[in-house]
Amino acid sequence: MSPSPAALFCLGLCLGLRVIAVWSGRLPKPSLRALPSSLVPLERSVTIRCQGPPGVNLYRLEKLKPRKYEDQDFLFIPAMKTDHAGRYRCSYQNGSIWSPPSDQLELVATGVYDKPSLTALPSPEVSPGGDVTLQCKTQYGFDQFALYKEGGTGPDKRQEKWYQADFPLITVTSAHSGTYRCYSFSSTTPYLWSAPSNPLVLTVAGAFMTPSQLPTKAPSPVTESSRRRIVSPTNKVSTTAVSRNITVSPKGSGAPAGLAHQYYNRGNLVRICLGAVILIFLAGIVAEDWHSRKKPMLRRVQPAQRPLPPLPHAMKPHGCQNVGRPDVHNHGCYY
């Protein structure tokens, strides 16, 4: 029994909608990562792996600029070279349909230049809620810096300012504690970085107390007992004893007025001296500013005048290496 025209129409409509959904990007894009890390020291090994859903017919792993690709789901680099650094992406094919490309992976070669220095200002030990600045400094004319924290999600990149970059950490918490390193590089070769700086351990010590947790001053036992005695209607002797501690000077006595007059004169003298010190300080600031304006302005040396160190000589192999699986034909060649 042949299917009815209505059934054929519904079947064709469903297939058409499925094809449209696939072409509109409904296939999930794969993920691409570098193991053990995307920051690879020179001469170290690294594996780039593409991961898609089960049942994939074909993977394609690409390196951008220059454009090269391998029809496989991984790329093993036995020894990192400067030519391996760059941007990578991958995709997969199911039937005749290609998936969207993965997010681009930036593979960085480290150790190309000498390491910078990393310091914490004012100190690597900071209290919760305080501020600290991590300063990365280099002797070369690099215009980019990157700060990494062990176990962090990614780098914090900053532009150069007078051969250094400041990474301020405002209102630190215990989450800021850890080991930090920084790198320097040039924007003309963004995937060739220096060696990492010496590790800097940032310690956030102490516990931050909210106002509700602040301790309150306990009442004095003597004061509390005296209050009880005064409130008690039966203990008349204690009430009299406490009240005798309060003395009221007669109006005709001149001693308290004389002491008050002396204190008033001393207070005026202290205010006058303090005002004179402030005036002298402000006059010194004005004189220093006027003197500095008379000096000729020093011309700042541009960072471009500090040359970059030369790149290491990259030894290229005579032929293409079989960097993929032996059972897969290599369409491109990675150097």
* Structural domain ending residue among the three candidates 204, 231, 253: 204
Q: Taking the C-alpha atoms of 315, 316, 319 and 321 in order, what is their torsion angle to the nearest 10 degrees?
A: 90
pTM: 0.58
In a domain, 294, yes or no: no
Whether 14 shows a pLDDT value over 70: the answer reads: no
In a domain, 30, yes or no: yes
Distance between CA 187 and CA 112 in Å, rounded?
A: 14
Of 268 and 229, which is predicted with more confidence?
268
Of 333 and 194, which is predicted with more confidence?
194
**Distance of alpha carbon 215 from the chain centroid:** 35
Same domain? 139 vs 165? yes
Domain total in the chain: 2
What's the pLDDT score for residue 294? 55
* Structural domain ending residue among the three candidates 140, 171, 204: 204
Q: What is the mean pLDDT of residues 132-147?
A: 93
Instruction: Give per-residue pLDDT as tens, 167-210.
Output: 999 999 999 999 999 999 999 999 999 999 999 999 998 744 44
* Structural domain ending residue among the three candidates 185, 204, 223: 204
SS (H, E, C) 78-120: CCCCHHHCEEEEEEEEECCEECCCCCCEEEEEEEEECCCEEEE
Whether 34 shows a pLDDT value over 70: the answer reads: yes
Do the Cβ atoms of 200 and 120 come closer than 8 Å?
A: yes
Report residue 253's pLDDT band, with 50, 70 and 90 as the boundaries. Answer: very low
Same domain? 51 vs 123? no
What's the pLDDT score for residue 326? 36
Q: What is the mean pLDDT of residues 314-331?
A: 43
Distance between CA 222 and CA 224 in Å, rounded?
A: 5
What's 303's DSSP letter? G
What's the pLDDT score for residue 19? 45
Distance between CA 329 and CA 69 in Å, rounded?
A: 11
Instruction: Give per-residue pLDDT as tens, 94-132.
Output: 988 999 999 999 999 999 999 999 999 999 999 999 999
What residues contact residue 115 under an 8 Å CB cut-off, 6+ apart? 194, 195, 196, 197, 198
pLDDT cut 70: percent of the chain above it? 63
Distance between CA 335 and CA 184 in Å, rounded?
A: 24
Distance between CA 335 and CA 66 in Å, rounded?
A: 11
Closest to 89 (Cα-Cα) out of 78, 100, 98, 79: 100
Range of weakest confidence among 52-61, 133-142, 238-247: 238-247
Instruction: Give per-residue pLDDT as tens, 214-252.
Output: 444 444 444 444 444 434 444 443 433 334 444 444 444
In a domain, 47, yes or no: yes
In a domain, 303, yes or no: no
CATH number at residue 160: 2.60.40.10
What residues contact residue 51 under an 8 Å CB cut-off, 6+ apart? 30, 31, 32, 33, 73
What's the pLDDT score for residue 261? 57
Closest to 83 (Cα-Cα) out of 70, 103, 68: 68
What's the pLDDT score for residue 126? 94
Same domain? 90 vs 133? no
Residue with tokens 């209607």: 233
Q: What angle do CA 85, 91, 97 make, to 5 degrees?
A: 160
Distance between CA 124 and CA 177 in Å, rounded?
A: 10
Same domain? 100 vs 125? no
Q: Whole domain around residue 53: which residue ranges?
A: 21-110
In a domain, 75, yes or no: yes
Do the Cβ atoms of 184 and 113 come closer than 8 Å?
A: yes
Tokens at 63, concatenated? 């390196």
Range of weakest confidence among 85-94, 214-223, 261-270, 288-297: 214-223
What's the pLDDT score for residue 221? 46
